[in-house]
Amino acid sequence: MPKKIKKKALKNAKVKKAKASKSKKTSSKFKWVYNFEDTPRLNTQSLKNLLGGKGANLSEMIRIKLPVPPGFTITTEACNEYYNLNKKYPAALVKQVKDSIKKVEKKIKKSFGNASNPLLVSVRSGARVSMPGMMDTVLNLGLNDKTVIGLAKKTNNEAFAYDSYRRFIQMYSNVVLGVNHHNFEDLIENYKLTKGVLLDTELTAEDWKSLIGSFREQIIKETGKDFPQDVHQQLWGAIGAVFQSWKNHRANVYRKLNNIPEEWGTAVNVQSMVFGNMGQDCATGVAFTRNPSTGENSFYGEYLINAQGEDVVAGIRTPQNITKKARLEAGSKELSMQESMPKAFNELVTIYKKLEKHYRDMQDIEFTVENKKLWMLQTRSGKRTAKASIKIAVDMVKEKLINKDEAVLRIDPKILDTLLHPTLDPNATKNIVAKGLPASPGAATGKVTFTADDAEQLKAQGQKSILVRLETSPEDIHGMHAAEGILTCRGGMTSHAAVVARGMGRPCVSGAGTIQIDYESKLFKVGSHEVKEGDIVTLDGSTGEVMLGEVNTIKPDISGDFSTLMAWADKVRSLKIRTNAETPLDTKVARDFGAEGIGLCRTEHMFFDDERILYVRQMILSKNVEDRNEALKKILPFQKKDFIEIFKTMSGLPVTVRLLDPPLHEFLPKSEKEISGVASSLNITEREIKNRINDLHEENPMLGHRGCRLAISYPEIYEMQCEAIFEALMECQKAKVKAIIPEIMIPLICTAKELEILRALVDRVAKIVEKKYSIKLSYLVGTMIELPRAALNAFEISKQADFFSFGTNDLTQTTLGISRDDSGKFLDDYVNNNIFKIDPFISIDVDGVGQLVKIACENGKKNNSKIKLGICGEHGGDPDSIDFCHNAGLHYVSCSPYRVPIARLAAAQAKIRSKR
């Protein structure tokens, strides 16, 4: 660390300490602003925390000697302090900004507010992670009626100077003064109509001057004030707007959706301008170092000649390809950057390769060419589809950029979900009506809707929608989230719609130019078709096709890179992954996805089958043991058959069978019609049935006569189930199925005594079966831990148990005293008020439920060092909970079949993290 910087860092550390004892960072020495070239040498994450992602990466690019226009970053700490001070700037900030501007002025030999040689800057927001809800960038700040003349003279390009000024007025008025941009767009459109021109680029300096006059009148009308001419006032207005955008509605929504804490704050970047709008040898563009849809290792991007800022992503003009290869593939006649600006293109290629090597990840970059000279304006790790993220991780291991552990850590387990679900059947008949760009892969079907709010409303009604827009903007985020897929008429592969959809894993077709939307009549026209709001359409985000109606889908392919990555994950993880399944179909899906056994086979699901429910009801309605045994005898062969099938599909692996758990009344007939049907087939009166239903009614069934309590009252039920399990085991042995060891699980144990009694029951039945066939049976007996008392008494209970399986659904209900079925009404409020960080039924409540799990594990192991420990609640498929399970020393997690790959990856990540 250079001495000077070290001193500064030390000073800040001291000030921070002082702050803890006194209060605010009031010291004038505290550093709120860093010029790009002298940011502190912190590790990447700490630097991002301090300067935001954009600021940290700008300074990093300067450090590795890339061409970046000079500028400075106001820290995230300054933003937080601004809020601490009730939206006032800390005193030292104003002076430090001034000093930093001076440094920039010196570097590029222009000065801020100077009428003959003005420095212009951009003001850009930049939080730790990129956030579409934040303030839009303001470009060309520092222009006013005087400096614009200087700029025109200096560049000898009046059209450019006034184009820049009008852009500045538009942007600043929109994002800082709150004047809706439609005001300006309408004025421009009308002007062009009167003049008879099509493109903005056809307007002259005189045209812009006249339009600027109209803009100013409009601003006075809307705000009561003229457009600010003082450049410092302009700057502080923009800085304040960035700070305030941290807590605007859009940002709040995005933060909530993505679990971004409010305490992070945003940084502000002030950077000297470079101009892509100075003529034909100027351009602006965005690019990905690899294809963000497929992951293919080829440079991919779009650019626009004689344009500025976000023209490329805004969808106003259709951008051109960067590489010749992409242009030819797209069949476009507009020259690629490779062809029109070969020198800048080659430089860009060298730079992107350097950036990939440096960051060891695919980058999303933004650049501008000013009079043939290339300038880098941003780099960050690029958003990508699930498929691309796996391909890129696997390729980078092959390219020796990263190692296997890093590759495994790179993939967010949750995204695997999108790969495991169906895609369009290539052989299905499709009624294709339009083709756009394949902006985000996957198939989606739903009702056409034209506004984000409508999409959200449909979702609330449980309906699927396709959001159709000319183009999307950050205001549409909630609708994009609610929709199954997104279709836009304008914009390229790097448009807002495309980038956000890929990030969310939503299929998206962008830039489908043949579609004409009529928002007012709520329909779109394409060719001879008219598609109305509510009509069903299908999108294929992998091909860009738009189809009428619903189209058949097929199973996903999980070989190739996916299986390579999963094999790496399997090699490192120590947690075993089982599945919760009871049907042969689910069992097979889970095994194909890599399940290593069944962690929860719920036997009650087997009772509901049409054929058997009658006997189950007969069993429940029986008034004495003899009648009940009679009914149970009829159920036995069904159960036995089920187990044989499951044992066969899971041959060679462990299968945990949970004995009957729910309260008996769940099986009874409910409607009058059902009741009379049951009455006649069982030959008893309806009255008898109704009486029995009344007898069995419970005020609080979750805490009622269920689980092992049923077997304490009616042991013959569990006896029948055990007999079915052991008989099935016998049959499998006879059929030479590779051995499985059933793990018989007794639910809702509260005391050691209950388990002692029921374990004896299991052993008794086993003896009978063993004697009958004169063989020896291998099996385990254990319990679910789903009551706090059981967790606390694990030491005693483990004397009777070969295994514990944490039933964290009920354990969460009973520990928190919150019913899962009723919590929907208020849990949101708890999350919003920060009482819970996340819904405890989704991710394990580490401080409460987690404590009980740990206590039970420790005490269980004290008594029985070989005790098997697992989890079978919904949490078994949640990556954060899996991390907890790994660290708590569990041996396996069990989850639903489609979550098995997610759990395999999450378990590997937990292990890698714990090694570090």
Q: From start to end of 533-597, where are the E strands?
A: 536-540, 545-548, 553-554, 576-580
Distance CA 828, CA 819 (A): 14
Helix (H) or strand (E) run with residue 633 in it: helix 625-649
Residue with Cβ nearer ligand ADP (141 or 393): 141
Instruction: Report in angstroms how near the CB of residue 199 gets to ligand ADP at its nearest.
Output: 19
Tell me how crowded residue 218 is: count the other CB atoms within 10 A of its CB.
18
Distance between CA atoms of residues 486 and 491, nearest Å:
12
Do residues 603 and 582 lie in contact, with contact meaning Cβ atoms separated by under 8 Å? yes
Pick one of 234, 266, 320, 378: the residue that binds Mg ion (CB under 5 A): 378
* Comparison of 501 and 867: residue with beta carbon closer to Mg ion: 501
Interacting partner of 274 out of ligand ADP, Mg ion, none (Cβ under 5 to 8 A depending on kind): ligand ADP
Would you count residue 378 as binding ligand ADP (CB under 6 A)?
yes
Q: If binding is defined by CB under 6 A, does position 656 make contact with ligand ADP?
A: no
Which is catalytic among the residues 708, 732, 857, 872? Answer: 872
Strands 576-580 and 892-895, by their bridges, are: parallel
Q: Are 741 and 778 in contact (CB under 8 A)?
A: yes
- The Cα–Cα gap between 345 and 369 comes to 10
- Which of 72/208 has CB closer to ligand ADP? 72
- Point out which span in 132-140, 152-160, 331-339, 535-543 binds Mg ion (CB under 5 A): 132-140
What the block records as the tokens of 696 is 């069995």
DSSP labels, 556-589: PP--THHHHHHHHHHHH--SEEEEE--SHHHHHH
CA–CA dist 883, 844 (Å, integer) = 10
| Least separation in angstroms between CB 171 and ligand ADP | 10
User: What minimum distance in Å lies between the beta carbon of 846 and ligand ADP?
Assistant: 34
Question: Roughly how many angstroms between the first and final C-alpha of the chain, as a whole number?
Answer: 25
Q: Does 284 bind Mg ion (CB under 5 A)?
A: no
Of the pair 366, 586, the CB lying nearest Mg ion is at: 366
Sign of CA pseudo-dihedral 31, 37, 39, 40 = negative
Among candidate residues 55, 53, 44, 131, the one with its CA nearest the CA of residue 503: 131
Q: Which stretch binds Mg ion (CB under 5 A): 75-83, 101-109, 366-374, 763-771?
A: 366-374
Among Mg ion, ligand ADP, none, the one that 90 touches (CB under a kind-dependent 5 to 8 A) is none
Residues with Cβ within 8 Å of residue 277, at least 6 apart in sequence? 160, 163, 164, 167, 284, 306, 307, 308
Selected from 368, 418, 587, 793, the binder of ligand ADP by CB under 6 A is: 368
Q: How far is the CB of 284 from ligand ADP (least distance, A)?
A: 5
551 binds, options ligand ADP, Mg ion, none, Cβ within 5 to 8 A by partner type: none
Active site residue 181: no
DSSP line for 368-396: EEETTEEEEEEEEEPP--HHHHHHHHHHH
Shortest spacing between CB 366 and ligand ADP, in angstroms = 4
Span from 57-65, 268-276, 431-439, 525-533 in contact with ligand ADP (CB under 6 A): 268-276
Position 355, amino acid: L
Residue 665: strand, helix, or coil: helix
Per the DSSP assignment, residues forming a β-bridge with 744 are 657, 781
Stretch of 250-258, 318-326, 371-379, 795-803 contacting Mg ion, by CB under 5 A: 371-379
Residue 147 touches which of ligand ADP, Mg ion, none (Cβ within 5-8 Å per kind)? none
Contact yes or no for 502/385 (Cβ under 8 A): yes
Shortest distance (Å) from residue 126 CB to Mg ion:
9
Which member of 310, 334, 406, 674 binds ligand ADP (CB under 6 A)?
310
Q: Is 732 a catalytic residue?
A: no
Binding map of ligand ADP across residues 119-158, x = CB under 6 A, - = no contact: ---x-x------------x-x-------------------
Least distance to ligand ADP from the beta carbon of 484, Å?
26
Least CB distance to Mg ion at residue 161 (A): 24
Q: Which residues contact residue 895 at a Cβ distance below 8 angstroms, ignoring those fewer than 6 apart?
A: 577, 578, 579, 580, 599, 874, 876, 877, 902, 903
Pairing of strands 516-518, 33-35: unpaired
Distance CA 426, CA 423 (A): 9
By CB under 6 A, is residue 105 in contact with ligand ADP? no
245 is an interface residue for Mg ion by CB under 5 A: no
Residue with tokens 């060679």: 652
Region near ligand ADP per CB under 6 A, out of 271-279, 428-436, 561-569, 850-858: 271-279
In single-letter form, the type of residue at position 90 comes to: P
Binding residues with ligand ADP: total (CB under 6 A): 15
Half-sphere exposure of 419 (CA within 13 A, CB side): 28
| Residue 331, number of CB atoms within 10 A of its CB | 6
Question: For residues 138 and 433, which CB has a smaller minimum distance to ligand ADP in the complex?
Answer: 138
Shortest reach from residue 171's CB to Mg ion, in Å: 11
Which of 481, 496, 665, 886 is flagged as catalytic?
496
Q: Binds 900, which of Mg ion, ligand ADP, none (CB < 5 to 8 A, cut-off by type)?
A: none
DSSP letter for 659, please: P
Please choose, from the candidates 300, 542, 534, 535, the residue with its C-alpha nearest in 3D space to the C-alpha of residue 436: 542
* Residue whose tokens read 């043991």: 625
434 binds, among ligand ADP, Mg ion, none (CB under 5 to 8 A by kind): none
Residue 268 binds ligand ADP, judged by CB under 6 A: no
- Work out which of 141, 377, 402, 785 binds ligand ADP, going by CB under 6 A: 377
Please state the closest distance from residue 867 (CB atom) to ligand ADP, in A.
53
Which residues form the catalytic set? 496, 872
Instruction: Return residues touching Mg ion (CB under 5 A).
Output: 136, 366, 378
Instruction: Return residues touching ligand ADP (CB under 6 A).
Output: 69, 122, 124, 137, 139, 271, 273-274, 284, 309-310, 366, 368, 377-378
